[in-house]
Structure 1
Amino acid sequence: MKIESLRTHLLFWLLAPLAGVVLVNVFSSYLAASNTADMVTDRTLLASATTIAEEISVIDGVIDVQIPPAAIEMFNTGHGDLVFYSVRTRNGQLLAGYPDVPAPNPHEPGAHPVFYEGAYRQRPLHLVALTHPIIGAPEESPVTVLIGQTLNSHDELIIDLLRGSIEQQVILLAVAAALVLIGFSRGLAPLMRLRDAVLDDKRDALAPLPTTSVQTELRPLVEALNEYKRRVRAQMDAQRRFIANAAHQIKTPLTLLMTQAAFAERAKAAGERKEALSALQNSARQFAHMVNQLLTLSRAEPGARRPRHERVDLAETARLVLEEFSGVALSREIDLGFEQAEEKTIIVGDETMLREMIVNLVDNALRYTPVGGSVLVSIGRQAEMCVLTVADNGPGIPPDETPRVFERFYRVLANGGEGSGLGLAIVREVVAAAEGQVTLRPPPTGHGLIVEVRIPGPVEENSGG
C-alpha cells in the first residue's frame, strides 16, 4: 500500500498498533465475559440443585422428592432456556426428573459439586452434579441431583458483556484518532511553515533558510536544503562566469577573423593576400579549437552526461592518442615517448571523457614544448591507483600561478603559446568525475612540467597474467 500523505502515514503507524491492542483487549474481554457467564451459570445451577436436595426427605422409610418451583423459576431470565433435572439414588434408581439426563464421566459421589458440559435431546447443556446424604435411608444414600440448563442465557450474557467492552474500545480508538489528528495538526505546523518559507515568492529562491527557528528533527532537512542551494548557487555562478568568459574569449578571435578577412579583401598584391589568408586560416583553426574545447568542457561538467561505467584500458587509450599526435610532434621535432608498466591499467569510467583528458594533456605539452624538446607519457600502477604522467621540458609554470592554472580561460602569459586556457580545466573535471586526483610539479632537474593523474583501478581487474 502506497501512502502519499505524511499525516496519513504517521496516523496509520500510530493507530495500527493501537488497533492491534484493541483486538487483544477484545479477545481478553471475550475470555473474561465467558468466564463470568460460566460463573453465573454455575452458581445458578448450584443454587437450584441445593434447593432440590434440601427438600428431599424420608417418609415412612420411603424417599420423598419434592421439586420446589423456585428451583426451576430461577432459570427464567427471558431467554427461553430449558431446564432438565434428575434425582437418583446411589444405586441409580430414578426418584424424580428426566431419566436420561447425562451424568459426569466419570463421577464419584462426593461432597463437592461437579460442573460439566453435556447434551440432552440434541441441545448443549451446562450441568451440575450434586451428591446429598439422606438420613434414614442408608441403602439409597447419598442421592445425586443432576440439573442442566441450555446455553441461551449463558451466550446472551457473553454477548452483552462483550458488546459493552467493544463499544468502549471503539470509542477509545476514535477518541485516540481524534486526539492524534489534533496533535498532528499542531505538530506538523513547523513543517507547513517550512513549506511556506520555501514557496515564499518574496524570498530569494536560492537564499538559505534559517535553521534556528526549526525543530531539531527538521534541522538536518533544512541544512541539506541549504547545502543543495549553496551548490546550485555555486554552479550557477560558475556558469555565469563561464558564459561571460566564453563570450569575451569568443569575441576576441571573431574580431580578429573579421579584421583579417577585411585586410585580405583590401590587399591588392598576391603576396599580401596570401599572407592574410594564411593568417585567417590559422585564426580559424585556433577558434575551432577553442569551440571544441568549450564543448568538451560542457560535457565534462558534473551532471552534463549520464554516468558511464565502462572498462577502459588507460594504456591503450593513451597509445592511440599518441599515434594521433605523432605527426604534430614530428613537424616540431619533438621527441614524443611512451612508457608502459607491466601491470594492466584498467579503470572504470567514461571512455570518451578519459580520452579527452589525455588529448588535452598531450596537446598542452606539445604546445608549450619548444622545437627539439621532449614529451614523455608514462602509464603505471601504484597499489589501487592507476597513474598517468605527462612530462615535458617546456617553460613550466611559476609556483605562484600553479593553483590558478586549473581555472577556465586562465593562461600563463609568460609562456606564450596558442592555448585557450581550457585544457587543464577539462582535465580537472574529468579526473574529479573519475574520483581521481591531478597534481602539477616541476621535474627534479632542469625546467618543464610534470602532470600526474591518479585514478582508482580495482586490483582484481588489473592483475598481471
Structure 2
Amino acid sequence: MTVRLTDFTLRRTLLAWLLGPLVVLLLLDVAVTYSSSVRYSNEAYDRALHEIAREVCLHVRYDGDRPRLEMPPGTERLLMVDQDDRIFYKVVAGDGSLVGGDPSLPAPLKLYDGRPAFYDDMLGKERVRMVAAHMNCDEREKHETVLVQAAETLNKRNRLAGDIRASVFIPQLLLIALAAIVVYYGVARSLHPLQLLKRAVSDRSHLDLSPIPTTGVPGEVRPLVEEVNELMLRLGTTLNFQARFIADAAHQLKTPVAGIKAQIEVALREQNLGEMQRSLAQLYMSADRLSHLVGQLLSLARNEPGAVESLALQRLDLNALALEVTMEWVPEALKRNVDLGFEGDQPIMIKGDPHRLRELINNLVDNAVRYSQDGGHVTVRVGGEAQPQLSISDDGPKIPVEERQRIFERFHRLLGTHTDGSGLGLAIVSEIASLHKAQITLEEDVDGIGNTFTVEFPTPDSPPPG
C-alpha cells in the first residue's frame, strides 16, 4: 500500500503514539489473562482430579505381586458422577498390562517418580485434563507401584476460566476505552489552537502581510509562527521595493517617452532633409538619455538591500579599480573641458563585489564630471591603510548642509541645476555602499570650491556584510 506524505497529520501521529501503546497493552493483557485464567482454573480442579486417582488406587488389591482392581459398580458410579464433565480412569501394572479402567486413555509421555503429572491430552476427538502418577496402593505391604490415570473433560474448567477472563477483561476494556476517549478529546483540544491559527491564516487577504498573532499559540509552534512572520516581513519589504520601483520607473519613463513620441511626430511631418536629420539627432539624444535612465533604474532595483540575497565578496585592490574606472572617464572629461586627475600610488585591499564597486565609482565620477564647471577640476583619491577610503572632489555647485542627506535620495535634484540627470546616481551609490557596510559622507571641498564625496570601507579583516 502506498502512503502519501499528505496522509501524515499531527493528529494521527499523536493518536498513534498515545493509543498504540494502549492497544498493545490490551493485547498483552489479553494474552497474560488468558494464560492465567487457564492456570487458575486448572489449579482449582486438579486437586479434585488427583483425589479421584487416589480413590481409584484405594480399590486396587494384590494377589501376591499381581494387582487387580476391585471396585463395586455403585462405588464406580458414585466416583464418576459429575454434573458438568465426564470422568475416566485407568490403572496399568508395572509390566504395562491393563489392571482396570478405560483402555482408550493414552499413556503419559513422561513421569517423575513421586510426583503426579497434570497435563492436557486428547481422548478421541475431545480434549481432557489428565493426571498420571505411580502409586503404591497397599501401604501395609511394599508392592510394585501401579500407574494410575484419571481424566475429565474441560467444561467446568472452561467456564471458570471464562468467568475469570470476563471479570478481568470487561473492567480493563472499559478502562482502556475510557482512556482512548480521553486521549482523543485531549489531542483534539490540544490541537484546537492550531485550527484557530489555520483559520486566521486562511481568512486573510493575499495583500495582508501583517504578523500572525502569537497569542494562544502553543510554545512548540510559536517559533514556527515567528519564522513565518519574519518571512512575511521580508516578503513585504521585497514587495514594497518592487512597488516603489514600478512607481518610480513609471513616473520617470513617462516624460522621456512622451518627448520621444513628440520628436518622432515632428520628424514624420518634416519635409526638409536637413531639418529631419536635426530631429533625428534630437531623437537619438533623447533615446540615449532614456537608455541611461533605464540602466540606472535597473541598477537601483538590483542593489536594493531587500533584493540582494548575498554578495560575491572577494579581495580586490581598490586603488587599481578606481584608477581603471577613472581612465575610462578621461574622454568624457575632455569633452566637457574638465581636468580629471587621480591620486593613489599603493594597493589598498578591501573585500567587495567588483561589479558593484565599479558601478559605485562610475556614478560618483559621472556626478562629479557632469556638475563641474567649465574648466573645473575633478580628483579621484584612494588611500587610508587602516581605513580604506575613496574620495572624489569636484568644482560643482556647493551643496547646502541641509541638503547633504537628501542628496542621496532617489530622484532628488538640487534646485537651480540645469544639467541633465536622472537623480538616481547618488541613490545607487548609497545603496551599494550600504551593501558593503561602507560609510559615505559629503563635505565641502578643501579649496572652498565644490564638494567632496568620501566612501570609507571596512578593513578586509572586518566581518563580512550579512
* TM bracket, shorter-chain basis: 0.5 to 0.7
Q: Contact between 2:84 and 2:156, CA under 8 Å: does it hold in 1?
A: no
Structure 1 gap ranges (5+):
460-465
**2: CA distance between counterparts of 1:13 and 1:184?**
7
**1: CA distance between counterparts of 2:461 and 2:82?**
93
Q: Give the equivalent residue in structure 2 for 1:391.
A: 391
Work out the number of aligned pairs and report it.
435
* 1:360 Cα deviation after fit: 3.2
State the SS of the aligned residue for 2:360: helix
* 1:101 Cα deviation after fit: 1.8
**1: CA distance between counterparts of 2:350 and 2:234?**
37
**Closer/same/farther in 2, CA of residues 389 and 14 from structure 1, 3 Å limit:** farther
Higher alpha-carbon deviation: 162-171 or 291-300 = 162-171
1:109 maps to a residue whose letter is: G
* 1:17 Cα deviation after fit: 3.7
Is it true that 1:294 corresponds to 2:297 in the alignment? yes
1:225-278 CA distance string (max 9 Å, x none) = 6655555555555544444444443445557768989999999xx999999987
Q: Contact between 2:317 and 2:350, CA under 8 Å: does it hold in 1?
A: no
Alignment map for 1:65-464 (pairs within 5 Å): 65=69, 66=71, 68-69=76-77, 77=85, 85-86=90-91, 95-97=99-101, 98=103, 101-102=107-108, 104-105=110-111, 107-109=112-114, 113-115=116-118, 127-130=130-133, 134-140=137-143, 145-147=148-150, 189-200=192-203, 205-206=207-208, 208=210, 211=213, 214-217=216-219, 231=234, 234-253=237-256, 284-301=287-304, 313=314, 315=316, 323=324, 326-332=327-333, 333-336=339-342, 341=347, 355-368=355-368, 370=372, 371-376=376-381, 389-394=389-394, 403-411=405-413, 418-427=420-429, 436-441=436-441, 446=446, 448-454=452-458
Q: Give the equivalent residue in structure 1 for 2:336.
A: none
Q: Contact between 1:368 and 1:417, CA under 8 Å: does it hold in 2?
A: no
**2: CA distance between counterparts of 1:179 and 1:412?**
74
TM-score when normalising by structure 1 = 0.65
2:143 maps to a residue whose letter is: E
TM-score when normalising by structure 2 = 0.65
**Closer/same/farther in 2, CA of residues 192 and 144 from structure 1, 3 Å limit:** same
**2: CA distance between counterparts of 1:293 and 1:230?**
27
**Closer/same/farther in 2, CA of residues 282 and 457 from structure 1, 3 Å limit:** farther
**2: CA distance between counterparts of 1:413 and 1:362?**
24
Q: Give the equivalent residue in structure 2 for 1:31.
A: 32
* 1:53 Cα deviation after fit: 0.6
Structure 2 gap ranges (5+):
334-338
**Closer/same/farther in 2, CA of residues 20 and 266 from structure 1, 3 Å limit:** closer
1:44-82 CA distance string (max 9 Å, x none) = 33312212313433787656644845665659659xxx9
Higher alpha-carbon deviation: 187-196 or 119-128 = 119-128
* 1:326 Cα deviation after fit: 2.3
**Closer/same/farther in 2, CA of residues 336 and 281 from structure 1, 3 Å limit:** farther
* 1:407 Cα deviation after fit: 3.3
Q: Give the equivalent residue in structure 2 for 1:463.
A: none
2:392 maps to a residue whose letter is: D
Q: Contact between 2:296 and 2:425, CA under 8 Å: does it hold in 1?
A: yes
1:85-143 CA distance string (max 9 Å, x none) = 44557x988644559722645x2315xx4445789999998654456564554212766
1:138-157 CA distance string (max 9 Å, x none) = 21276653446788998998
Q: Contact between 2:343 and 2:380, CA under 8 Å: does it hold in 1?
A: yes
**Closer/same/farther in 2, CA of residues 436 and 209 from structure 1, 3 Å limit:** closer
**2: CA distance between counterparts of 1:122 and 1:114?**
22
**2: CA distance between counterparts of 1:271 and 1:240?**
44
**1: CA distance between counterparts of 2:310 and 2:170?**
62
1:393 maps to a residue whose letter is: S
**2: CA distance between counterparts of 1:55 and 1:319?**
120
* 1:334 Cα deviation after fit: 1.8
2:327 maps to a residue whose letter is: S
Percent of pairs with identical residues: 25
Q: Contact between 2:389 and 2:454, CA under 8 Å: does it hold in 1?
A: yes
